[in-house]
Amino acid sequence: MRTDTGQIVHLADYRPTDFVLERVDLTFELDPTNTKVDARLIFHRREGVDPSAPLVLDGDELALSGLLFDQKDVPASQYDTTPESLIIRDLPAEAPFEITITTHINPEANTQLMGLYRTNGIYCTQCEAEGFRRITYFPDRPDVLAPYTITIIGDKAANPVMLSNGNFLGGAGYDEGRAFAAWFDPHPKPSYLFALVAGDLAVVEDTFVTMSEREVTLKIFVEHGNESRTAYAMDALKRSMKWDEERFGREYDLDIFMIVAVSDFNMGAMENKGLNVFNDKYVLADPETATDQDYANIEAIIAHEYFHNWTGNRITCRDWFQLCLKEGLTVYRDHEFSADQRSRPVKRIAEVRHLRSDQFPEDGGPLAHPVRPTTYREINNFYTTTVYQKGSEVTGMIATLLGKDDFKAGMDLYFERHDGQAVTVEDYVKCFEDVSGRDLTQFSLWYSQAGTPLVNVSTEYDQASATFKLSLEQMVPATPGQPDKQPMHIPLSFALILDNGTIADATSVKGGEVTGDVLHLTDRRQTFTFTGIASRPVLSLNRSFSAPVNIAFTQTPADLAHIARHDTDL
């Protein structure tokens, strides 16, 4: 399914592939201008699929060099090939079968830097979102998961390092002047997580002992001369692994974890399974040249890519419309990590500034789109602050709505229920519904409605009855393609600060749901009436920026000074 031809892709058109991919064996014979790729793929027809349906594989600027069915040549009458597709007919109705595809590609000439390319003497890959189809014909979509075995053959002088996903099986001399390296990734993954790196690189090694007492080898590969600048990145990696165990119960699942940091990598950072690839500005640092912000960025990005091992890799997206499911959730996790490692209030202030300066304008402009869009022409255009940052805020609101215990139980269920699967936003939300008993149908509008809600606020205090009325009105603005909006479920953390600086007991309330210190705004207009409030309180609303909304509320200078003096929320 190509997305660069101007054809609109619709979420509603999703359907699973006709064939299930069981296993992938890839062999690369590296050459700067003529790399040979043999792809041995084991398929079986999905149950219920028309026995006459052909196998349709994606390509991008490919030329087919060879095609075998169960090790025998496929007659030309049985397939059609173009640079963008390979269609094979007359395949078994039920039994598994093997297709072997041979292609030749030119890494040096690959100026798109998608698929396999070579720059500055280093072979490197970038396959997200649809780059694998530039390597071989393949069902190049995120819901096609399989274990991979990789064999890399290359000039041993030019490529003393040859890396791929998974665990190292072995390597040795192959023939005169060439060597091979074999890798096996037992965890089924989609093609966008495939990675290959080969060239002359230096390595820094360490180890990490997991919570089940397995020793994992850690390696950071860099250009020669940069070895001494990897210490902070290695420390950040080890702290990320430990934190993910302690906070989310997620243990690393391979024998080795590798980072490659090169100056020519074009995507910033990429979470390929077991073989993360970074632009080296997000890995290298030393006290003489790096700023505090450089160190903070390295820590956050190392953590983000590592955390993808579970939120993105072990559990991935059914289709690219679900991109927020891996990116928004993983941004939430890396924000929480940084908050725990540093200062939570300082970190949250920085996040909100970023959201308000970058995402709010996007939500209010001509490019406004939902956290989960329903159409696209080019998926690479949806790696946006809305998908990443607002997507993170949506997960944060789930945590606010449910509370710490139910949120943790929901995440645990998500990992248990969907490990090894390609899932949807609905699958994710259902886990939280199941553990909490709460219907999140209205809340899920955060995934489907674009725009930043505006909440108008007014208050009224009656001394004689000791009642405080808080009136809220929400408005979700029209955005391109969405002129009319439904009311959102907006969780607003709040406090009523009394004149002595203490927080009023706000448990006696009518007019809407209040759980702990969270107001649930679910209607267009709601008035919450609090009783037993002994003195006129000052309202502190949307504490910790619990919801990504604009608040319209005029407070007096005296009230603002009271908040500055007594509010514990920064």
The pLDDT value recorded for residue 6 is: 72
Strands (E), 96-145: 97-105, 115-119, 122-126
Alpha carbon of 431 to those of 23, 370, 404, 415: distances in Å? 30, 22, 15, 10
Residue-range domains of the chain with CATH: 1-200 (2.60.40.1730), 316-448 (1.10.390.10), 454-566 (2.60.40.1840)
Alpha carbon of 112 to those of 121, 260, 310: distances in Å? 17, 20, 29
Strands (E), 320-464: 375-376, 422-423, 454-462
The pLDDT value recorded for residue 561 is: 98
Distance CA 315, CA 248 (A): 14
Distance CA 178, CA 185 (A): 24
The pLDDT value recorded for residue 2 is: 43
Q: What is the dihedral of CA 210, 167, 303, 227, to 10 degrees?
A: 100
Sign of the C-alpha dihedral computed for residues 257, 201, 149 and 17 taken in this order: positive
Pairing between strand 467-475 and 454-462? Answer: antiparallel
Contacts of 565 (CB under 8 A, 6+ apart): 501
Distance CA 508, CA 38 (A): 69
Catalytic residue IDs: 305
Residue 427 exposure: Cα atoms within 13 Å on the Cβ side: 20
Q: Supply 195's token pair.
A: 């990675």
The pLDDT value recorded for residue 5 is: 55
Q: pLDDT truncated to tens, each residue of the chain (570 aa)?
A: 344 457 999 999 999 999 999 999 999 999 999 999 999 999 999 999 999 999 999 999 999 999 999 999 999 999 999 999 999 999 999 999 999 999 999 999 999 999 999 999 999 999 999 999 999 999 999 999 999 999 999 999 999 999 999 999 999 988 889 999 999 999 999 999 999 999 999 999 999 999 999 999 999 999 999 999 999 999 999 999 999 999 999 999 999 999 999 999 989 999 999 999 999 999 999 999 999 999 999 999 999 999 999 999 999 999 999 999 999 999 999 999 999 999 999 999 999 999 999 999 999 999 999 999 999 999 999 999 999 999 999 999 999 999 999 999 999 999 999 999 999 999 999 999 999 999 999 999 999 999 999 999 999 999 999 999 999 999 999 999 999 999 999 999 999 999 999 999 988 999 999 999 999 999 999 999 999 999 999 999 999 999 999 999 999 999 999 999 999 997
The pLDDT value recorded for residue 3 is: 44
The C-alpha R_g of the chain, in whole angstroms, comes to: 27
The pLDDT value recorded for residue 1 is: 36
Neighbours of 514 (CB within 10 A): 18
Distance CA 56, CA 521 (A): 48
**Residues paired with residue 314 on neighbouring β-strands, in sequence order:** none
